[in-house]
């Protein structure tokens, strides 16, 4: 594929992210607390997470190892960031959740697979065919700031997911009001952390495909966090009203 065709493809992919925002604001993806019947066949929640999150990592791994990318230090660092995130997301996070017996609609898993294939492809293909990083990029302020922002976002996402998972004792079901740390400011620090994480990755990679991932992440997670926030306010009359949904003091 020529560079022009590839860029056109990525711009189309970005346009799609903007198209899904109004849909995501209108219809909250029915998994987790928003699970509903009427969305067709269901699959075990943990299995769904494992299956839907593998493609992004598998595609990136395919490009990394079949195109000799490990000889490029910058690409190796980008691949390491990608792998740390995705190995957690498909192999560790689902097994830590206390959602035994819960299900998600197969169609939601398929939508996520579609996104993960698109995202893994555009980012992996770019690194394999068009990236021109040299070691000088390792000391560029964008790379240094980007990796620091990525690490901060990853930490926030991990810590918040862990606090949320631990709200349930083993075997418990149902929901509680999360308390402490960033939860005093926002309802969904895990979503906030993930948006920060991929914004950092986009900065350190300084590429259109990485920017498309940051845009898609915000397009998926900001509407979801708004729905979570509204759900908390509806469910718990004593929910702290000073909390915002996803961006401290702002949204």
Contact (Cβ atoms closer than 8 angstroms) between residue 123 and residue 60: yes
The mark string for 155-174 relative to ligand NDP (x by CB under 6 A, - otherwise) is --x---x--xx-xx------
Can you tell me which of 176, 179, 230, 235 binds ligand NDP, judged by CB under 6 A? 176
CB-hemisphere CA count at 13 Å for 44?
Answer: 10
Q: Is 119 in the site for ligand NDP (CB under 6 A)?
A: no
Integer angstrom CA distances of residue 199 from 98, 102, 244? 29, 32, 20
Q: For residue 137, give the DSSP letter.
A: G
The mark string for 85-114 relative to ligand NDP (x by CB under 6 A, - otherwise) is ------------x-x--x------------
Supply the minimum distance, in Å, between the C-beta of residue 63 and ligand NDP: 19
Supply the minimum distance, in Å, between the C-beta of residue 244 and ligand NDP: 15
Can you tell me which of 28, 72, 207, 217 binds ligand NDP, judged by CB under 6 A? 217
CB-hemisphere CA count at 13 Å for 117?
Answer: 8
DSSP string, 71-109: G-HHHHHHHHHHHHHHHIIIIIHHHHS--TT-EEEHHHH
Binding-site residue total for ligand NDP (CB under 6 A)? 21
Q: What backbone torsions phi and psi does residue 104 show, to the nearest 5 degrees?
A: -130, 155
Residues that bind ligand NDP (CB under 6 A): 32-33, 97, 99, 102, 157, 161, 164-165, 167-168, 175-176, 178, 190-191, 194, 217, 220-221, 224
């Amino acid at each position: 594929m020529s560079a022009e065709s590839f860029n056109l493809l990525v711009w189309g992919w970005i346009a799609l992210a903007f198209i899904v925002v109004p849909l995501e604001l209108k219809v909250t993806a029915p998994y987790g607390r928003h699970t509903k019947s009427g969305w067709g066949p269901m699959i075990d929640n943990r299995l769904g997470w494992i299956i839907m999150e593998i493609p992004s990592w598998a595609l990136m791994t395919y490009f990394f190892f079949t195109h000799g990318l490990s000889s490029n230090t910058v690409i190796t660092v980008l691949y390491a960031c990608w792998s740390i995130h995705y190995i957690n997301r498909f192999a560790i996070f689902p097994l830590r959740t206390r959602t035994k017996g819960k299900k998600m609609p197969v169609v939601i898993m398929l939508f996520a697979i579609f996104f993960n294939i698109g995202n893994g492809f555009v980012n992996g293909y770019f690194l394999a065919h068009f990236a021109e990083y040299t070691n000088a990029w390792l000391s560029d302020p964008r790379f240094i700031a980007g990796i620091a922002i990525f690490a901060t976002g990853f930490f926030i996402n991990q810590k918040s997911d862990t606090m949320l998972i631990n709200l349930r004792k083993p075997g418990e079901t149902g929901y509680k009001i999360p308390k402490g740390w960033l939860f005093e400011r926002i309802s969904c620090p895990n979503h906030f952390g993930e948006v920060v994480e991929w914004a950092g990755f986009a900065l350190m990679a300084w590429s259109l495909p990485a920017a498309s991932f940051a845009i898609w992440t915000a397009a998926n997670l900001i509407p979801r966090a708004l729905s979570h926030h509204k759900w908390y306010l509806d469910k718990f009359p004593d929910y702290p009203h000073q909390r915002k949904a996803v961006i401290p003091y702002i949204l």
